[in-house]
Amino acid sequence: MLAGKRIVLGVSGGIAAYKAVDVCRRLVDLGAHVVPVMTRGAERFLGRATLSALASEPVQTSLWDGPTPIPHTRLGQQCDLLVVAPATARVIAAYAVGLSTDLLTNTLLATKSPVLVCPAMHTEMWEHPAVVANIATLRNRGVHIVEPAVGRLAGGDIGAGRLAEPADIVAAAVTVLTSGGSLAGLKVLVTAGGTREPIDAVRVIANRSSGKQGYAVAAEAAARGADVVLVSTVELPAPPGVRVEAVETAAQMHAAVEAHADADVIVMAAAVADFRPAAAAAGKIKKGAGLPAIVLEPAVDILSGLGQAKPAGQTLVGFAAETTDLVANATAKLSAKRLDLVVANDVSSPGVGFGHDTNEVVLVRPDRDPMTIGRRDKRDVAVSVLDAVVELRHPTNP
């Protein structure tokens, strides 16, 4: 499966370094050429001889002692993927701020290839605001993160921070290497955030959408080689390689979407208002003026219009934020709006949907049974959504 792929396996100094042996073995068994790089801290937990015996080349640890004068440049330029397992808080921080302190961090900064970071640390460290911010920074740059598991940690503690299992790390590496260009050459339009409909010069009718899921989809689409336009109502950092067009109201979003309606793939992740005030006051409505009569009218149904005019070959994805009858409502939306895929989530569930970094969704399409994607980071949900898009465009089981 990975024949011909060159993978740099970085191992940093944590008790979970022993799992890197199994990661290395599994990658080699899949045909990959694995080049191990260990930090000085990693050598306190794992001997070089063990990893060297299983890898495709001997372990490298130094910027200075090898035959190549600039080993980090050679490693970074020649690899198809760089995996760091385990990734300690120190290595994550150095990578996030661009600090080169050893061969591994130099190689991370010297590569333009995909990077897969697999954190492992105690729960208190994993949840520290600095680590959370560094992980968010790396995600925004397109780095793939394999979330740590919940389980037994060093010292007998139980909690989040345990290195993901080697099989899961290798599966993530396979996904990155085999689907990284699956949208190459395609134009992808993504919408994100909740629209805001003015009542007066100060007040708006809005919703709770943070835009995080739409941004995750846009970032993943760009990582897969697509030309991505993101129409957004929120002010989040633009994902690498993504063009952002800022809008506020449903009408503005409609105009922006219509300008890109020829896209090969459209993912309408935005929460567009169903209703808007029929007339917005020019100034601020003063409290002393009495209770205003706000007359609502339907806002433009962007998704329905796209479905009615969908050209041949286009893949159209809608989102459904529900609180009851999740699959039934998503199925009805799929049919009524002529969609290829609906991503439905129950926003009444804790940790799901609006404002959260995690999501739990059901993928509903005409030709398959609904598929539940369990709770995970929104970037990982984006991976599942775009995997489904690729399958729709290139069916493996006609």
Confidence of residue 313 (pLDDT cuts 50, 70, 90): very high
Distance of CA 320 to the CA centre of its chain: 19
Whether the predicted pLDDT of 73 surpasses 60: yes
Domain final position from 179, 205, 240:
179
99 versus 74: which is more confidently predicted?
A: 99
- Predicted confidence at residue 74, as pLDDT, reads 83
134 is catalytic: no
Question: 75 and 196 in one domain?
Answer: no
- pLDDT (0 to 100) of residue 282: 86
With 90 as the cut, is the pLDDT of residue 174 above it? no
Number of CB atoms found within 10 A of residue 193's CB = 29
Residue 1: inside a domain: no
Q: DSSP letter for 308, please.
A: H
* Residue 256 clears pLDDT 60, i.e. is over it: yes
Last residue of a domain, one of 153, 179, 205: 179
Q: Where does a domain end: 179, 202, 237?
A: 179
Question: Of residues 288 and 16, which shows the higher confidence score?
Answer: 16
CB 179 within 8 A of CB 200: no
Of 148, 233, 145, 134, which Cα lies nearest the Cα of 190? 233
Task: Please determine, for residue 351, whether its predicted confidence score (pLDDT) is greater than 80.
Answer: no
**Does 398 have pLDDT greater than 50?**
no
191/319 same-domain check: yes
Shared domain for 25 and 168, answered yes or no, is yes
- Output the pLDDT for position 156: 79
Q: Within a domain: residue 64?
A: yes
Q: Is the pLDDT of residue 199 over 80?
A: yes
Whether the pLDDT of residue 285 is over 50: the answer is yes
Whether residues 143 and 13 fall in one domain: yes
Q: Residue 155: pLDDT above 80?
A: no
Kindly report the average pLDDT of the chain as a whole number.
90
Instruction: Name the burial class of residue 3, with classes exposed (0-12), middle (13-18) and buried (19+) by CB atoms within 10 angstroms of its CB.
Output: exposed
User: Is the per-residue pLDDT at 277 higher than 60?
Assistant: yes
pLDDT, tens digit, 9 for 90 and up, residues 333-345: 999 999 999 999 9
Q: Say whether both 194 and 326 belong to one domain.
A: yes
| Phi, psi for 308 (deg, rounded to 5) | -65, -35
Residue 370 confidence (pLDDT): 96
* Shared domain check, 94 and 115: yes
Which position among 106, 134, 140, 207 bears the catalytic label?
A: 207
Mean pLDDT value of segment 2-20: 93
pLDDT for 150: 82
As a residue count, the chain comes to: 398
Is residue 351 domain-shared with residue 219, that is, in the same domain? Answer: yes
CB neighbours (10 Å) of residue 349? 14
Residue for token pair 């989809």: 217
Residues 335 and 351 reside in one and the same domain: yes
Q: How many domains, the chain? A: 2
- For the cut 60, the answer to whether the pLDDT of residue 177 exceeds it is yes
Q: What is the mean pLDDT of residues 222-229?
A: 86
Higher pLDDT, 137 or 63: 137
CATH number at residue 212: 3.40.50.10300
Residue-level pLDDT at 366: 93
pTM: 0.61
Among 92-96, 249-253, 378-382, whose mean pLDDT is lowest?
378-382
Q: Domain of 345?
A: 187-393
Residue 70 pLDDT level (bands cut at 50, 70, 90): confident
* Burial annotation 294-308 (CB, 10 A radius, 16+ → b, else e): eeeeebbebbeebbe
CATH number of the domain residue 17 falls in: 3.40.50.1950
Amino acid at 71: P
- Residue 365 in contact with residue 334, Cβ under 8 Å? yes
% pLDDT > 70, the chain: 97
Do residue 201 and residue 261 come from a single domain? yes
- Among 25-34, 53-62, 214-223, where is mean pLDDT lowest? 214-223
